[in-house]
Structure 1
């Protein structure tokens, strides 16, 4: 049953009469009709009389938990936005509520500016006249896995809950993050992507949080950090597993308290951000190894989204090829790139350890051929199963060493070529870190020249 009132309405559930009255005054000032309840029983009684436009509920109530109310409303009325308000700043309550279906949360004491913003977002979600922004079509594929991924993204777009995206390198984790942002109410606000592994450790704090003038040598003026640039929108923290431990502590506070303090500053800046993180690493294993904070993982991994590898959805390859070729054909004055006869069969037989990025690289490399045809043999040259033959080892120790060096050089070159020049992918296939792979490859090249 829906309310017949023309004005938007809100149900406030809190066992403190003063809080209910404060929220009533604020929300009525925004043009809402407000009902109050001081327990779960009273809340259910109000809901039985008609659904409001939004619900604001405390987590701790005399006759139960506000999370039970969130869970029930999410199951029975998934389009009804529910936000939780709690006096307890621990991660447990807010995270559990958002996992149960709450679209956002606030901590007491209540900041009226943030409350008004939260209510405005909730009213947009509850208004069916507001057209939904579905940006999931950029995730190409008709396989069941991709259909489920797009459906999950549409649901996530209705929430402000932090999302942690997992998946192998090259699967399109940033593309999924952008789809969440562009499908949400924040679609007209900034989307800022940060590669946590690409920023030098000494610059991470100032890059993320900003810095005041004179905060460090060379800081001749104040500068905004990426958190402030993204304020109001979405901050995508890619390769979050590369973040140093000290910055993990500061990131945890920024997510939990929704405030930052620029380097060298004395004032705190309030944040209104959606946090999305991603990594190809196993953060749970890193927690066990002591290299990643468990409390930060708990805060980031409120909702997990997994992007499947290409080998698990090979039926999407024909559509992916069409889309990539269309994009390539729009670039520059080139004769149209086409797929050689028999090439699709070979593509469908390949397991693509580099995922969609490797497929794109294969098709892009085909443009070096004059006739702009994608050769049927390209997947065969990219296969990594065929390793260089092991040479017969001579008895001389010096010759043995040279033969082994040559074999290593051949293997490294073969892997790098198979990964389309991507050192990270090639290193992963050999079980090496990128730095070790680069050093070995450089040493082998030097040896071959000598």
Structure 2
């Protein structure tokens, strides 16, 4: 081997006061083709770090002259590009969580499983390579081409910065935010930007799995374990091996499953239903919820130990109404994704979107624009093509025909609206109660008007569209959406 090859070989620092374990780690790492320095004390580790850069620091939590936690904090403060992993005593999961919160890259438990150690080291080295590639491309734009998180608002810039930091760690992450704010996209970007990007990303909706099937779905099962188990099958943990497992809406997990999930995450081992032995799993856990998990813990709906295990690092996604400056670029991106082309929007349509509070966040914006595409004429979306729930802009849109005096309410019972002179606006809020919600009311009005137009034109859609003052395509879309039988 040449001197250049030796110089280019990654160097690892092993810090442990147990001579036999230190020697085992050294031999294992050397066999992986790595250079190794070792230290049995915190002071000696500091001396090594002062004169040598390392691709990874591996330290025990207990040292004769201090704590491995001190080393974690110092490395993160003074050697930001150096990942540090900790060795914890068997069953000391709390220490591992504390170290991860302090910035540790990952951890391995005693007795050290060499396969797990090798995976940890390879992951750290791959993370270093990804970071070097990013640093060697200063001309890279603020948002990488592969980024899923669109927007230039201050909130989104902070989110992307956090994602870049989280991608360098293997610590569990919990993503919080309102429904539709893009939690799965954020989890996918953490995975894509990490050293695990070449491995599977498995997203699981915890609220969509029947409780009786959860254990089999998560951990897999053996043939004959239960009725219908005709073959061996892997679970989510095995399917995500080497990659990332996202637990979406984790607050919906039933308590019995929370116990089993805690053990799997803590011990990194799972047992298939019907099996007698456990198998090691290597997955990074990213969970997400729109609920406040701390309140769920207080109410007894979520285990406190699992909460602390998942909530090592929190990433909060701001709602769309708090980053209105992103709406235009988001809309352009969504329209391009839906149609493959650039579709124009009028100034009035853009103003309407910016003035809307988007209770459904980005997911609602996508639905609004998908509907608008069907309504748009001449390749341009107008304000009348947008269905913004409960806004004055929608209420002020002129109708081709007056509102009928009877509509079908949410309960399918006719609701009478008193006749008014043509120049007097009907005040729905003057009544002590409302017949139904505003979206339901408007939808029912629309359904009734279309029915009347079709009846009047004997189901001639072209004439009905002219009568209603809409395009033929708009009418066809609404007939399908409202499930109107002609």
C-alpha distance in 2, partners of 1:305/1:232?
22
C-alpha distance in 1, partners of 2:10/2:442?
61
C-alpha distance in 2, partners of 1:382/1:34?
63
Within a 5 Å distance, the mapping from 1:276-295 to structure 2 comes to 276-295=286-305
Kindly report the root-mean-square deviation, in angstroms, between the aligned alpha carbons of the 2 structures: 2.8
Q: Kindly tell me: are residues 287 and 176 of structure 1, through their superposed partners in 2, closer, same or farther at Cα, counting changes over 3 Å?
A: same
Deviations 1:256-290 (A, max 9, x none): 00010011111111111011000001110000000
Q: Which piece of structure 1 moves more, 277-286 or 367-376?
A: 367-376
Number of the residue aligned with 1:363: 369
Within a 5 Å distance, the mapping from 1:159-198 to structure 2 comes to 159-198=169-208
1:232 counterpart SS class: coil
Number of the residue aligned with 2:326: 316
Compute the displacement of 1:346 (Å).
Answer: 1.4
Q: Kindly tell me: are residues 410 and 154 of structure 1, through their superposed partners in 2, closer, same or farther at Cα, counting changes over 3 Å?
A: closer
Unaligned runs of 5+ in 1: 389-401, 418-450
Deviations 1:37-71 (A, max 9, x none): 11211211222221222111001112221011011
C-alpha distance in 2, partners of 1:304/1:142?
21
Compute the displacement of 1:377 (Å).
Answer: 3.7
C-alpha distance in 2, partners of 1:194/1:410?
33
C-alpha distance in 1, partners of 2:162/2:146?
10
C-alpha distance in 2, partners of 1:413/1:215?
48
C-alpha distance in 2, partners of 1:105/1:74?
15
1:114 counterpart SS class: helix
Q: Kindly tell me: are residues 29 and 308 of structure 1, through their superposed partners in 2, closer, same or farther at Cα, counting changes over 3 Å?
A: same
Q: Kindly tell me: are residues 314 and 233 of structure 1, through their superposed partners in 2, closer, same or farther at Cα, counting changes over 3 Å?
A: same
Give the conservation status (yes or no) of the 8 Å contact 1:135–1:180. no
C-alpha distance in 2, partners of 1:292/1:211?
26
Give the conservation status (yes or no) of the 8 Å contact 1:366–1:373. no
User: Which has the greater radius of gyration?
Assistant: 2
Deviations 1:190-234 (A, max 9, x none): 000100011111111111111111111111211111111111110
Within a 5 Å distance, the mapping from 1:134-283 to structure 2 comes to 137-283=147-293
| Alignment equivalent of 1:117, drawn from 105, 116, 119 | 119
C-alpha distance in 2, partners of 1:405/1:239?
38
What TM-score does the superposition give when structure 1 sets the normalisation length?
0.83
What TM-score does the superposition give when structure 2 sets the normalisation length?
0.77
Give the conservation status (yes or no) of the 8 Å contact 1:387–1:411. no
1:407 counterpart SS class: coil
| Alignment equivalent of 1:407, drawn from 434, 441, 447 | 434
Compute the displacement of 1:386 (Å).
Answer: 11
Number of the residue aligned with 1:18: 20
| Alignment equivalent of 1:74, drawn from 73, 76, 94 | 76
Q: Kindly tell me: are residues 129 and 221 of structure 1, through their superposed partners in 2, closer, same or farther at Cα, counting changes over 3 Å?
A: closer
Deviations 1:93-144 (A, max 9, x none): 1111111111110000011111112112222333478534967632110111
C-alpha distance in 2, partners of 1:140/1:211?
40
Q: Which piece of structure 1 moves more, 104-113 or 46-55?
A: 46-55
Q: Kindly tell me: are residues 370 and 317 of structure 1, through their superposed partners in 2, closer, same or farther at Cα, counting changes over 3 Å?
A: closer
Number of the residue aligned with 2:471: none
Within a 5 Å distance, the mapping from 1:317-356 to structure 2 comes to 317-330=327-340, 337-356=343-362
1:121 counterpart SS class: helix
Compute the displacement of 1:242 (Å).
Answer: 0.6
Unaligned runs of 5+ in 2: 1-5, 136-143, 396-414, 417-430, 445-486
